Structure 1
Amino acid sequence: MVTQRAYKFRFYPTPQQKRQLAIEFGHARYVWNWALEARTKAYKEDGESLNTISLSRQLTVLKKTACPWLSEATAGCHTQKLRDQDTAFKHFFAGRAKYPRFKKRHQTQSVRYQLDQRHVAKNFNAENQRLKLPKLGALKIKWSRNVGGIPKMVTVSKDPAGRYFVSMACEVEITALPTRKNAIGVDVGVKDVVVTSSGDKSGAPKYTYQYARQLKMAQPRFLSARLFKSSCEGVKFFV
């Protein structure tokens, strides 16, 4: 059986990569807000519903005229933002979400890169733990587990705490476990924590009773320490 498995890793960018990511995040946020304003204005004034194709054409003209600085970022990230907005509006019209909102700088920032499957071997290698993205180069990632399969999309995000992450989804094949005939039922008991249908009992270790005396002696000490700390707050000591 083939299924999608998601992976998320911590990413430690270099100063140069941080500057480029700041450009990517800012431009992607601008494209989202520009597209949302254009959609809303076109629907209110003319009753027209814009989509990714029409907005992508307008964005190309915008890059050549009023906003040539948009070319500093990866063009694929702009296209992905337009597609994300298409998905957001589909959820809105289906009643599954609210009307899309404008993006703000202090929120979680993210951009999505599409890996070229023709040259994906040069940009991604799970065995050697290597990932390269356009205009960023090789990324320093903390690979906490092995990646199975090859991703088609890679998302780079930055949370409000300033941490960077890399997320991806890969198609992996899962081998089904062999069926077993000797099934065992498990029940939660009162006298024992777990009781099985075969008659095995786990017992009930009474840790609370075992450490009741230590807890009784520790509680007054903890309360007295809290009272002393609260009484000392706001008091200035002079030496």
Structure 2
Amino acid sequence: MLLRYRFRVYPTAPQRVMLARTFGCVRTVWNDAVAAREAAFRQRLPHPSLAVLDRTLITEAKRTAERRWLADVSNVPLQQSLRDCHAAYRNFFDSLSGRRNGGRVGPPQFKRRTGAQSARFTRNGFTLRPNGRLYLAKIGALKVVWSRKLPSAPSSVTVMKTPTGKFFVSFVVTVDDGAELLEPLSDPEAETGIDLGLKDFAVLRGGKVIDNPRFFRRLERKLKKSQRALSRKAKGSANRGKARLRVAKVHEKIKHTRSDWIDKQIKALVSENQALYVEDLHVKGLVRGRMAKSMLDAGFGMFLTRLESKASRAGRTFVKIDRYFPSTRLCSTCGALTGPSGLAGLKHRAWRCGCGAHHDRDVNAEINIRREGKRLVAAGLADT
């Protein structure tokens, strides 16, 4: 199993200059590759191969006056940029033909210098030194803040610069299956269904509620204020750069606080439950409606992806219930479909079934999700 371990780095002033050059060269090679592909498509010519692009956009380009500065940086991230662009096009075409699972993937786009920057180094482009420094070819030894040990020797490292000017490195490491296995819980009933929602982020077994923190909503007013200030600044001015940085910092704070909160909730759920049952939400479809902003703010897709990964590495049972299973409408007492449905039924937080049972909407849904998950496990129909 491949995992990424991310750490903060603090380059010196000369190293920041070399990193800026490296990012610029990597971005240029990527954009040249996209332009070459688009030109071939417009002229109805075969797409240039990776070997042809490598020769024309790197080797031969270094001999020209317009691209001679490509020789100032390591050749490793330039070649990796071409390979990443080639993989992105392959995923795009496989998505069009149906050979790739998952949602539709768009074609590669041109990269801008104002966004996040990155460069990837393979084994022959970096070295981990005994003093804890990370040496990158033609950049130097970077100071890394090690928050944890790497489980194995990394196969590649990506150095990144965020829009706020912070630098990070991301190592790709191999982890053996079961390396993070947790001891089975003594309580055989330590399992829960997870009913996700907007009023409460999740409702667990026994009516336990995880409140929805609404990170974006909390800082939305501050973000609007900073965006209005940015719109009034002249393009290309120093003040516009400062205003852009303030907007980026607000976005970064929202992103990091949401990610940290989700990781903490997942750790608690996995450590306290032997089995976890969730609905297979169609997140991309949900973010297209009138509640799209709230759906994106909740981060359901991030939560479900990380929860499945963490449960698998910890040896916990993780089951996704079919998205069309009527967990809300189904009465957990008699099994009749008498509950609220559709957008009009969202305002009904409690309801009474014809059998006389009175249900809380989310608590009833959690019970049904848990029962359906246990049935799938017993029948051998779940990927656990």
TM-score (normalizing by structure 1)? 0.70
What one-letter code is carried by the residue in structure 1 that aligns with 2:64? T
CA contact (8 A) 2:89 2:108 kept: yes
Secondary structure of 1:150's counterpart equals: coil
What one-letter code is carried by the residue in structure 1 that aligns with 2:62? K
Which one has a bigger Cα radius of gyration? 1
- Measured in 1, the distance between the counterparts of 2:144 and 2:60 equals 36
Deviations 1:37-96 (A, max 9, x none): 111101211421123211001121111124211101111111011011011111211223
Is 2:49 aligned against 1:51? yes
CA contact (8 A) 2:120 2:156 kept: yes
Is 2:108 aligned against 1:100? yes
What one-letter code is carried by the residue in structure 2 that aligns with 1:84? D
Secondary structure of 2:121's counterpart equals: strand
What's the % identity of the aligned pairs? 38
Residue segments in structure 1 that go unaligned for 5+ positions in a row? 197-239
Is 2:209 aligned against 1:189? no
Is 2:124 aligned against 1:124? no
Is 2:155 aligned against 1:152? yes
Q: How does 1:128-143 map to 2 (within 5 A)?
A: 128-143=131-146
Residue segments in structure 2 that go unaligned for 5+ positions in a row? 96-103, 193-204, 209-272, 274-384
Deviations 1:159-187 (A, max 9, x none): 10000000011113344659869651136
Q: Judging changes above 3 Å, is the alpha-carbon distance between structure 1 residues 28 and 56 closer, same or farther for their aligned structure 2 residues?
A: same
Secondary structure of 1:50's counterpart equals: coil
What one-letter code is carried by the residue in structure 2 that aligns with 1:44? R
- Higher helix proportion: 2
Secondary structure of 1:140's counterpart equals: strand
Candidates 18, 21, 24, aligned match of 1:23: 21
**Partner residue, 2:81:** 81
**Which 4+ runs in 1 deviate beyond 6 A?**
none
**Partner residue, 2:68:** 68
**Partner residue, 1:13:** 11
Identify which of structures 1 and 2 has the higher relative contact order when contacts are C-alpha pairs closer than 8 Å and 6+ apart.
1
What root-mean-square deviation, in Å, do the aligned CA atoms of Structure 1 and Structure 2 show?
2.6
Q: Judging changes above 3 Å, is the alpha-carbon distance between structure 1 residues 183 and 25 closer, same or farther for their aligned structure 2 residues?
A: same
**Partner residue, 2:119:** 111
Q: Judging changes above 3 Å, is the alpha-carbon distance between structure 1 residues 63 and 178 closer, same or farther for their aligned structure 2 residues?
A: closer
Secondary structure of 1:113's counterpart equals: strand
Count of residues in correspondence between the two structures: 186
Secondary structure of 1:116's counterpart equals: helix
Most deviating of 127-136 and 154-163: 127-136
